[in-house]
């Protein structure tokens, strides 16, 4: 029987682990498929307070992991595939293990959204990517398309110009959603070109050739065209990782876990949610870490009562 099981190892989960471990709760943290979470897919993090010159995302997560372990948190490199939250003690299933616990902290984060094309899935990892910082390096001297009109798309497009000769941003409307500063930066970059009112209908190529182009449709004229590119980066937002909690805990219409105002409490007493899995608004490492701290403190108080 555990006092606390933490599901997920991004800034939210690891901060919860630091606080819970320092409160002598000996938490068990199950890291998930992407240990360290989305920050391990980024390079320099410049806005995490305390690092005047910035810190590399993977290094920041490594430091958080060591900090949690120093105080006695137990980290397991496994993936939770089921939970039972309707009876107490709760049950959490990972690998071939089952653990019972008095409290659960959910910090499973979110994952990149896909356009939903068959050819996008087929060519994922063969020219289709959701992470410029992971895969940009493979596109030195090549032509790339980025789908999306938000800050992520602007950021990825700008980053990719370090490698690519040309980056086409394809956006489904005629107005970008991105913040003014990110738009300006992308628009000033001579390697970035914008195609508006346009969607990708098909990704062309095979696993052998990689991506060779895109079939595009102008949503106003309905005209079809082809764009020759070597890679497609999908940057259209994220989905919360809440599949295993469906039907057991209250989610909002987009699938994010509902937490009570100014709290990480969910509708189930003893279950707390923190980080991107319950935050469609801020989605920052520092806000995730802050809510991880809240979850651990609220769980500790709940256990005391």
Catalytic residue numbers? 131, 134-135
Enumerate binding residues for ligand NAP (CB under 6 A).
115, 147-153, 155, 172-173, 177, 179, 199, 236-237, 283
Q: Shortest approach of ligand NAP to residue 201 CB, angstroms?
A: 11
222 torsion bin: left (phi>0), alpha (psi -120 to 50), beta (else): left
How much is the CA Rg of the chain, to the nearest whole Å?
Answer: 21
Handedness of CA 288, 290, 292, 294 (dihedral sign): negative
Q: Shortest approach of ligand NAP to residue 183 CB, angstroms?
A: 11
Listing DSSP states for 208-269 in one string gives: TTEEEEEEEEETTT--EEEE--SEEEE-S-EEE--GGGTTTS-B-TTSPBP--TTS-B-SST
Report which residue's Cβ sits closest to ligand NAP: 150
Q: Shortest approach of ligand NAP to residue 98 CB, angstroms?
A: 36
What DSSP state is assigned to residue 108? -
Q: What are phi and psi of 143, to 5 degrees?
A: -105, 140
Q: Please identify, using beta-carbon distances, which residue of 84 and 238 lies nearer to ligand NAP.
A: 238
Q: Please identify, using beta-carbon distances, which residue of 102 and 177 lies nearer to ligand NAP.
A: 177
Q: Please identify, using beta-carbon distances, which residue of 107 and 158 lies nearer to ligand NAP.
A: 158
Q: Please identify, using beta-carbon distances, which residue of 91 and 177 lies nearer to ligand NAP.
A: 177
């Amino acid at each position: 029987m555990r006092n606390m099981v933490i599901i997920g190892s991004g800034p939210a989960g690891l901060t919860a682990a630091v606080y819970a471990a320092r409160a002598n709760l000996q938490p068990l943290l199950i890291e998930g498929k992407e240990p360290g979470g989305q920050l391990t897919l980024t390079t320099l993090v410049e806005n995490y307070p305390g690092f005047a010159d910035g810190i590399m995302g993977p290094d920041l997560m490594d430091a958080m992991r060591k900090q949690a372990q120093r105080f006695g948190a137990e980290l397991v490199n496994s993936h939770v595939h089921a939970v039972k939250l309707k009876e107490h003690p709760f049950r959490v299933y990972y690998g071939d293990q089952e653990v019972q616990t008095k409290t659960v902290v959910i910090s499973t984060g979110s994952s990149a959204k896909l356009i939903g094309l068959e050819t996008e899935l087929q060519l994922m990892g063969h020219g289709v990517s959701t992470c410029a910082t992971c895969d940009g390096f493979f596109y030195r001297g090549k032509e790339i398309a980025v789908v999306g009109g938000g800050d992520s798309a602007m950021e990825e497009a700008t980053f990719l110009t370090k490698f690519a000769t040309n980056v086409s941003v394809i956006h489904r409307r005629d107005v970008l959603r991105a913040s003014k500063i990110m738009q300006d930066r992308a628009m000033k970059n001579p390697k970035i070109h914008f195609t508006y009112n346009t969607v990708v209908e098909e990704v062309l190529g095979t696993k052998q050739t990689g991506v060779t182009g895109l079939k595009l449709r102008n949503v106003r004229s309905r005209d079809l065209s082809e764009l020759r590119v070597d890679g497609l980066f999908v940057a259209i937002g994220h989905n919360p990782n809440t599949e295993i909690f469906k039907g057991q805990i209250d989610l909002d219409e987009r699938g994010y876990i509902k937490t009570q105002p100014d709290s990480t409490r969910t509708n189930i007493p003893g279950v707390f949610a923190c980080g991107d899995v319950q935050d469609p608004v801020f989605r920052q490492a520092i806000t995730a870490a802050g809510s991880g701290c809240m979850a651990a403190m609220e769980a500790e108080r709940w256990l005391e009562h």
